[in-house]
Structure 1
């Protein structure tokens, strides 16, 4: 039923000058937060400066563009599934004025399902080609990095489509793992090594999207429950969800603190990240004490972007110290 509605109401923007804008919305290009992980890989490999070559820069560039293509495919397939099962119609419809329908071209009838699927599969194919070239010209090809990239590609396309991993209770863990692989894999291709400190940063990077994702899930409880999508927010009580999000916030801080205490990260890493910790605390208070979940979700983007800046500084400082 919903497919036929979209097919008969496809907006002119899907065929005119606004066509690219509609597809950009389908691919969520305005949400660039996962793409920022490339800066952590860059700062971790930049020193010594004379060892960072144009070849390395090209590998990072190709990996980033491939990453954008793969994630566009992932979110487009997520929109197709959300439209077909009705959850996006519930979460972005007239009964939920806090969510913009324009962000969902299928719900807004700006695209049909076949158009969205073609976009997704073309994007996925482009991602495969770009990542294959990046691997082919990389100075190193450690097995763990290749396995991580391959698994990331396969699992991303099954996130909400095909196997529908996010419909079987793995959504929150997937969001962290996705971010971590996008940081550590390109580092492996450039250095051939595994870095405990960068892995700590990679996990914290993955926490960023998780920590605005869980606020989105809190807002979308009704729609997710209606289609059986088992996010933690949909499975537990309102109080249980608040405890869960609070525990995640505390865990994020503890990961950095324990890394500094054990020597996995420099001693100054946890203090350096305190501004992000303070803003994360403010996010929780806004969402679960004041009850303004969508403002808290927006704060999550600011926390993530600040964390990337701070961790990039940490990578540069650690690299500089190692070469003194």
Structure 2
């Protein structure tokens, strides 16, 4: 009898363990719910349509100039067809990576400015925390679901561009081009991740969604429009007359201006995207004639380009982690009452 009861208990324990494995964890349930909310959200649909239309227009203009790309043998990057599809333009509109530097932050802000305060104001956050759910899973689910949507979007656009170029031109993509395009997509995702983590932080700091949205948009406008103007005005106010400076001193001042400008996330993204899409770029700072002498105008290998943009990529990663860590700290210490 004891052996039979032991066998029965083990069978019941196995059935319970199988049921627990089949049940979804609370984190996965919240991620699925957040993804469903984003898909049904009109603001995400409108921004998605805007990004797709911008991508289609840029691709159409680049396809129209495809003959000029092959005929321009003076350009060392003329053989990289698929990179030219993302960086080439006829002047009627900026290249796609320049347009993304304006549109990508809006996508991140729209997906995170009401992540916490909307739940708190509607009362669902209190009911959610009354369940056996870890508090940090809520914040992680908000960030993870938004990043999953953003990564899927830009990966789909990348594959669409490669497939469209292959069907129209019939030119086989080179492995280096594919890696550079995937690196560009990864850089864009990092750029959006910073503004997503910043908007989630502001949604914790401010109780009203409108206040957090306006604050995030104000920070974006400051770094995009006003910050370069202020840096140039301040540097020019303290910089001596260029007529009395040597070439080395002028280069030092230019490097100082670039270093201060790289505090802005959009400058980091522009430097990284331009270097990855244009292999002929050898440096992101000023170069002297001695450094340029004897240089052959040829594209750099992928490894060399990654070494150039690694400070920019690490800067965007550090900014995103810092904003999310501060948001995590404030949310874990916040007292939530009904």
| TM-score w.r.t. length of structure 2 | 0.28
Q: Which has the larger radius of gyration?
A: 2
* TM-score, normalised relative to structure 1: 0.29
